[in-house]
Amino acid sequence: MEDIVALLDGCPDAEKRIDAAPGNARAYLAAEFSRMLADDLFLLSLEGHLRPGVEGIERIDRCLAIMRRIAGSGRTNQWANDGEMTLK
C-alpha cells in the first residue's frame, strides 16, 4: 500500500503511464484500487503516508482522485478492445 501511495504521489504522470500500460495491468489496478477505496482502514491510513497540513491534504486528494478515475475506468470495459482482461 505504501508503494502505491508513493508512486501516485511522487510521479506526476503516473495516471498517464497507467493509461498506457497493457490492458491486463490496467484491469488489475482498477480492481485493486476499487478494493482499496472500499477499505476504510486504507482511507484512514493515507494521512500517515503523506505529510499533514494543507499540502498533505491536497496530495491525498490527488492520489484518491487518480485511484477513483482508474477504478471507475475498469468497470466500463474501456480496455476491452485491446484483447486484454477486462472487469465485469
C-beta separation of 77 from 87 below 8 A: yes
Identify which has the larger pLDDT, 88 or 42.
42
Residue 24 is predicted with a pLDDT of 94
DSSP SS3 for 88: coil
**With 60 as the cut, is the pLDDT of residue 85 above it?**
no
Q: What is the pLDDT of residues 41-84, one digit of tens each?
A: 998 888 787 766 667 788 888 999 999 999 997 544 444 444 44
Residue 30 is predicted with a pLDDT of 94
pTM: 0.75
C-beta separation of 36 from 67 below 8 A: yes
